Amino acid sequence: MAEKHVHLKDSIGAIEEIESKIENLWLKRKEEIEKDLEARIRVEKEEAGKKIEAIERELEKGRAVLQDYRTVVSEFENERATLQREIKEHFERAVGYQTEIEKMAGLTMEELRLVNDLNKRLETLHQSAEEKVNGFRKDLEEKFGIVAQLPPSKEEEALKIDLEHELRKLRKIKELLQGGSAVAGGIGIEAGEPEVAEVPPVPPVAEVVEKSLAEEAGEKAPEEAPAEEKPFEEEKGNFQSLFEVLEGYRKIEARNGNGEISFFQKDDKTILDGEYMVASIDESLEEAKRLYLKLAQTESPKEQFFIKQEIINHQEILRKYILRNLKMCEREGAVMPQFTEEILNQEILREILEKLSMENWSNPGDFNSFRSQIEVLKDAYYAKITPPVYYLQSLIRELGA
């Protein structure tokens, strides 16, 4: 068999052709890889752009929330400063009025002393006139047999004043006012002072003065006073003394922002503080009323939304507060005060709790309905415990104190 001869030129051409094909294939593959890479980079850029936009939107929302927060804080600071300024102004007025009352009381006492001096002069004049009249009467009787008698003067009787009694009353008023000055002096409001110190609860001056004058005049207890209050009759009018006794048994339980529970406790006896409860309910309503006034002056829908949420928050806080009081009765053996049980009892508390759970205070109809019901209850409650002496006596007796 004859051998085939390999032509060198043909081999070199074939190799070059293969090399060209390989290079074209590599370039084509490289181009595909680059296109694929560019496509992926484009997609990732688009996704990254979307994520950046989303982050920017969230950041913008955060800025808006921060701005709202700054606005709320600024409004709070302004309102607080305004209220503190008003508190200081009213307190200074009260101190000024008290000074005027003290001054007027002193002037009144001085005038009564003058009346006393004039009364003595009147008595001296009366005695002198009576001596002269007696001489004339004696002469008439001796000379003419006529017995003459001067009629009593109504005007003179009307001018007779129990000065000692009036002076005792005024001294009592001055003592009370001086005691009020001592309390006021401990408050320590100064010009430019940002905070107002807390003042211990003191009965209004007018109320204390009225009670003191009633004591001085010897007024009797109202006929409708319960028969069982008779053993405490000697303490009638001594409101402060009874209050201090009862305060020794008061307990306060904080409720993590849901209001404080006030009750009286001795041994295993627990009595809820009904007056504190009524005041707490009324305070929540007053806060909601304040927010409704603010709502009426606000045009921004966003601000209106926040205000309504705050109104609902006050409703929820009050609901939890009433619920806690009920649980103390149902699970822990606490009771409502017997003296006011016909007005405020567990059944009434359940009705209040149901309305707070089912209704929505951001709805004016629901809020006004609830407020009307509480106003009736509050009026009846305070009418029942006025004067407070009998209520305090009843609580002390019920505690076994």
| Per-residue pLDDT tens digits for 272-288 | 999 999 999 999 999 99
Looking at the fold, whether 242 and 384 belong to one and the same domain comes out as yes
**Across the beta sheet with 250-253, what order do the strands follow?**
250-253, 261-266, 269-272
Looking at the fold, whether 342 and 295 belong to one and the same domain comes out as yes
Is the separation of the CB atoms in 233 and 389 below 8 Å? no
Looking at the fold, whether 52 and 192 belong to one and the same domain comes out as yes
Looking at the fold, whether 262 and 303 belong to one and the same domain comes out as yes
Looking at the fold, whether 206 and 231 belong to one and the same domain comes out as no
pLDDT for 150 equals: 52
pLDDT for 234 equals: 44
Q: Is residue 3 part of a domain?
A: no
The tokens describing 346, both together, are: 């567990």
pLDDT for 357 equals: 92
pLDDT for 395 equals: 92
Q: Is residue 4 part of a domain?
A: no
Which of residues 175, 194, 219 is at a domain's end? 219
d(CA 153, CA 151): 6
CB contact set of 127 (below 8 Å; sequence gap of 6+): none
Looking at the fold, whether 159 and 176 belong to one and the same domain comes out as yes
For residue 387, pLDDT over 80 is answered with: yes
Q: Is residue 329 part of a domain?
A: yes
pLDDT for 208 equals: 46
- How many helices (H) and strands (E) the chain has is answered by 10, 3
Looking at the fold, whether 190 and 248 belong to one and the same domain comes out as no
Q: Is 241 helix (H, G, I), strand (E, B) or coil?
A: helix
Report CA torsion sign: 57, 60, 64, 66: positive
Q: Is residue 5 part of a domain?
A: no
Higher pLDDT, residue 236 or 275: 275
Q: Is 262 helix (H, G, I), strand (E, B) or coil?
A: strand
Which of residues 159, 184, 219 is at a domain's end? 219
Confidence of residue 190 (pLDDT cuts 50, 70, 90): very low
Q: 109-142: per-residue pLDDT in tens?
A: 667 667 767 767 777 776 777 677 677 667 666 6
pLDDT for 47 equals: 85
Q: Is residue 123 part of a domain?
A: yes
Mean predicted confidence (pLDDT) in 182-207: 41
Average pLDDT over the chain reads 75
Looking at the fold, whether 213 and 310 belong to one and the same domain comes out as no
Could you say which DSSP state residue 6 is in?
Answer: P
Looking at the fold, whether 132 and 31 belong to one and the same domain comes out as yes
Is the separation of the CB atoms in 274 and 36 below 8 Å? no
d(CA 94, CA 86): 12
Q: Based on the structure, what is the number of domains in the chain? A: 2
Mean predicted confidence (pLDDT) in 166-188: 52
Looking at the fold, whether 227 and 212 belong to one and the same domain comes out as no
For residue 226, pLDDT over 50 is answered with: no
Higher pLDDT, residue 219 or 118: 118
Q: 31-66: per-residue pLDDT in tens?
A: 888 888 888 888 888 888 888 888 888 878 777 777
pLDDT for 317 equals: 92
For residue 329, pLDDT over 90 is answered with: yes
Looking at the fold, whether 200 and 272 belong to one and the same domain comes out as no
Q: Is residue 26 part of a domain?
A: yes
pLDDT for 360 equals: 93
Range of the domain at 196: 12-219
Looking at the fold, whether 97 and 231 belong to one and the same domain comes out as no
Q: Is residue 36 part of a domain?
A: yes
pLDDT for 223 equals: 42
Lowest mean pLDDT among 179-188, 207-216, 314-323, 357-366: 179-188
